[in-house]
Amino acid sequence: MENGGYEIPENANEHCPGPQSESAGKSDACEGCPNQQICATAPKGPDPDLAAIIERMATVKHKILVLSGKGGVGKSTFSAQLSFALAAMNFQVGLLDIDICGPSIPKMLGLEGQEIHQSNLGWSPVYVESNLGVMSIGFMLPHPDEAVIWRGPRKNGIIKQFLKDVYWGELDFLVVDAPPGTSDEHISIVQFLQATGIDGAIIVTTPQQVSLIDVRKEVSFCKKVGLQVLGVVENMSGFCQPLSGFRFMSVTETGEQKDMTEWVITSMREKCPEMLNLIAFSEVFDSSAGGGVKMCMDMGVPFLGKVPLDPQLCKASEEGRSCFDDDSKCRISAPALKTIIEKLLSQLNVSRIEEGA
């Protein structure tokens, strides 16, 4: 639906002035509308800084937004490992963290305590490697425990500043890690990047319905704002770990626990050593309703793949390391992530850069 050239949300009130109108969220027709607060705080009309953003982003070939309907589904972990993987393929990569209130990217990239520096070209990203730069508000906080208590307009302002003032140089990929949900930050980043050309969004979920309900809203958001859904990643898709990595307990009727790990491992080694090479799998979340695959079929969006809940991947993220490193021991999650990333590159028609190219 349109009004005066503006695209009107399907759930808007009658006589909606349009989300880009100067009276959006403020007119009498907006009273009681579920979009009122978002429309009132969203940027209106032509943005004077848009030209500067377009100029900055002109040196970035591919821009990918990473979204999630809920927090805690592993979105930032995926963003971090996607960036590590692309950099390991010899691409020039930037990772922009716009989760203003919960910036976890600095820790996941092993960059805690780093600061942003400014040059005559603009703000300089903090570099993990020469071809992997990172920008986050986490680098600006005086203390890692400092809370960011900002309203929408100020959040929009820092996102705009990241886009127009950070000097990335020539990039093959800019990965943007967004906060969960569909709020001011999402409207701002989409509005700013659409003018520069954005490839689309990857949406991260977990298998259970309580997460997928919100992912459906995220897909709906993307469709409403004209943002292509590159695919959905189902994270924490079953708990996987080598059998030898478990601890085994016996529990009495009174609840007392006794560690039986040494006895179990010794027994397996003596009687059936092949078992020590097996991978144990357990469904942590209920996926009986079809999980991410079924949701993607229902909503007509691509399904990129599943990533198991792997303790070694969790450890790599905590330590700010790539799960693709030889010593990371992520032999369950790393292949799953690699398959997803290869599928993404194929979808974008991007070829891997050969060593030395």
Instruction: List binding-site positions for [4Fe-4S] cluster.
Output: 16, 30, 33, 39
Cα 173 → chain centroid: 14
Q: How far apart are CA 222 and CA 66, in angstroms?
A: 12
* C-beta neighbour count of 344 within 10 angstroms: 24
Burial degree of 356 (CB within 10 A; 0-12, 13-18, 19+): exposed
Instruction: Specify the DSSP element, H or E, that contains 117.
Output: strand 117-119
Report DSSP letters for 60-105, one per residue.
Answer: EEEEEEEEESSTTSSHHHHHHHHHHHHHHTT--EEEEE--SS---H
CA nearest neighbour of 47 among 166, 174, 190: 190
Contact between 62 and 149 (Cβ < 8 Å): no
How are beta strands 132-136 and 126-129 bridged, if at all? antiparallel
The SS3 assignment for 332 reads: coil
Contact between 34 and 11 (Cβ < 8 Å): yes
Contact between 255 and 294 (Cβ < 8 Å): no
Q: How far apart are CA 216 and CA 233, in angstroms?
A: 13
Largest CA distance in the chain: 78
Contact between 281 and 238 (Cβ < 8 Å): yes
Annotated binding-site residues read: 16, 30, 33, 39, 69-76
Annotated binding-site residues for ATP read: 69-76
